[in-house]
Structure 1
Amino acid sequence: MLGRTMYALISLSDLENDFINPYDLTTRLNRFVAVEYGAQFVLTAALLFTGKWFLGVAQLLLTAFLLHSWSVRQHVVDATDVFRQLPLQKKRRLIMFGAFLFCFVMVTYRLIESIIHGLLTDEGRETAKKLFQDAAASLHHY
């Protein structure tokens, strides 16, 4: 969904710079609205049901934002009114991009943390601890 939001931002910038016409833009963006909303609901439910409360609540806020945009009919782009909607659509997509990027970074961090803690043995933990301490100590010389 991070890539999809970035694709939407690039498409909106292309329209702003007259690289594509409004009808092509609306075709590009409106084609995946239902998939985007469905994936968001599934992701939020999966995070909450598996007990990942911090990320689940963050995704729940984004889901509420998407439901609000659905209720005020801002979830699709109209080809006849796209130039007036352009600033609002870019702002909306930037908010979504920031939320998805935050969650991506958090998931990546937790994945790496789980790998480090789960796969190392006691001897490996001691070696890794010494390695990280030596690396941290060498940073003070710069």
Structure 2
Amino acid sequence: MVGAIIGWLFGFFILIGLLLLVIYQLVSLADLEFDYINPYDLSSRINAVILPEFVLQGTLCLLYLFSGQWMLFLFSAPMLIYNVRLYQQKKHLLDVTEIFNQLNVEKKRRLVKLIYLVILLFLSLFWMVLTLLDDD
């Protein structure tokens, strides 16, 4: 019982961390759109948080896999596969010279990630409550 609660709490805080990283990236892209920061600062800020985001996503998938939460693992695996594909194709970092051409695509990509993570958070909370009620 205590192990399950600790596992759920780790998963919850990892999801919150992922949400914060994606929101930070979206706010930074909006700042560039409204000309509050320059493209070089934007690229350095976002590129600094991309690899931690990928590591957190991988950690979340491994946590769900090792804790036996198969459905949540299957729901979180597509994002991990997508991130691995981006990394392998060397498309995970923002290019300073092309950022204005790719601004809308990058905003949509982060917005889809945000929606995906919010859905995953609600599913995780639902299964956490279900698990805690089943143990009692």
TM-score, length-scaled by structure 2: 0.79
Higher relative contact order (CA 8 A, sep 6+): 2
Shift of 1:56: 0.3
Query: Would the alpha carbon gap of residues 84 and 62 (structure 1) be closer, same or farther in structure 2, given more than 3 Å must change?
Result: same
Q: How many residues are matched?
A: 119
Q: Kindly name which structure, 1 or 2, has the bigger radius of gyration based on alpha carbons.
A: 1
Partner of 1:122: none
Partner of 2:111: 94
Aligned partner of residue 84 in structure 1, secondary structure: coil
Partner of 2:125: 108
Shift of 1:65: 0.9
1:56 to 73, 80, 92: 73
Partner of 2:33: 16
Partner of 2:45: 28
> Alpha-carbon deviations, 1:40-87, whole Å to 9, x = none?
111111111211111101111101111122233221111121111212
2:84 to 63, 67, 76: 67
> Alpha-carbon deviations, 1:8-56, whole Å to 9, x = none?
1111111111111111111210112221111111111111121111110
Q: Which amino acid aligns with 1:21?
A: N
2: distance between equivalents of 1:28 and 1:41? Answer: 21
Query: Would the alpha carbon gap of residues 71 and 87 (structure 1) be closer, same or farther in structure 2, given more than 3 Å must change?
Result: farther
- Single out whichever of 104-113 and 19-28 deviates more from structure 2: 104-113
Shift of 1:111: 2.6
Structure 1: 5+ residue stretches without partners: 120-142
- Identity of aligned pairs, percent? 30
TM-score, length-scaled by structure 1: 0.76
Structure 2: 5+ residue stretches without partners: 1-17
2: distance between equivalents of 1:61 and 1:101? Answer: 15
* CA RMSD of superposed structures (Å): 1.6
Shift of 1:118: 4.3
Q: Which amino acid aligns with 2:19?
A: L
- Single out whichever of 16-25 and 67-76 deviates more from structure 2: 67-76
